[in-house]
Amino acid sequence: MSISPESFAFVADLVRRRSAIQLTPGKEYLVESRLLPLARTAGLDLDAYVTRLRTVGAPADQAAVIEAMTTNETSWFRDGAPYAALRGTELPRLVAARGGTGRLRVWSAACSTGQEPYSIAMSLLDDLPAAMTSEIIATDLSEQVLERARSGRYSQLEVNRGMPAAMLVRHMVRAGTEWELSAAVRHLVSFRAHNLLDAPPAGPFDIVFLRNVLIYFDLPTKRAILDRVLRVLRPDGVLLLGAAESTLGVHEGYERVTVERSSVYRPLAARGLPAPATLPSPRPAGFGHPSTPSPLPVPAAHALSRGAAR
């Protein structure tokens, strides 16, 4: 079932306005495949469904379209190299800079169903000294994927996508036909709805993961997002992007540094930006090393998702 040019243009504009994701000509097949289930549920063909969307414009229908157009492709320790850089160079550098004490804060943006922030949490649990605590804020546009992430449960097929056997043994347990993350891992991560077009979560952050999402935006949007990130990143912090992404030619406030088999991005001291705003109040103790676990609940949340046309 083909979508008309007028209907495609409307959907592309809606998605751009709500999420800044660009659906360029040639992506009609993607819109058709993603929206056809919604149209069938409504008992309509594609163009009739989009016509209803244009004329009625119910917020719930628009939200369903945005959800449908968002692909949440993710896996454990995705691509490998960024985590090697994190554990091999960036964590030791940050720990040394803080004297092995204090709290390390991480933002996992466009976190999808949680494999990325939980992979980060496992790395922190294994590598941070006992005197340091940590906190991971994980955000996404999609409430559906956030609910899945908060559950901390994954199918065998999902676990098979990148989970090292040693990590599986240390940090997950069987739960029927699924695998469940340990409380120590889950307590490190707070999931919140957030759109990258909006103001970022309250900083400062020592580490920001913004991987495999900038590729879906135009240049001004990329620049604006990187600027927001820079303003909540500590002066000695680090930004990790996807393998096909870079700040070069996009934002002048970062320095690309080759680490392990990948590149990381650190703020340029010469940028002259004000220091990231401090948090209004300290986080309760208990986020951090497994030697000091805490029964803190995973907070309910305060949405751009990892990828669109994947």
Residues 6+ apart with CB under 8 A from 37: 68
What are the residues facing 140 on neighbouring strands? 193
Residue 309 belongs to what H/E stretch? none
Question: What is the Cα–Cα distance from 210 to 111, expressed in whole angstroms?
Answer: 9
Query: In 187-309, where does DSSP find H-type helix?
Result: 219-232
What amino acid positions are annotated as catalytic residues?
34, 140
Question: What is the Cα–Cα distance from 17 to 78, expressed in whole angstroms?
Answer: 29
Cβ atoms of residues 141 and 303 within 8 Å: yes
Q: Of the candidates 138, 108, 118, 65, which has an alpha carbon nearest to the alpha carbon of residue 302?
A: 138
Q: Of the candidates 116, 126, 136, which has an alpha carbon nearest to the alpha carbon of residue 76?
A: 116
Neighbours of 22 (CB within 10 A): 16
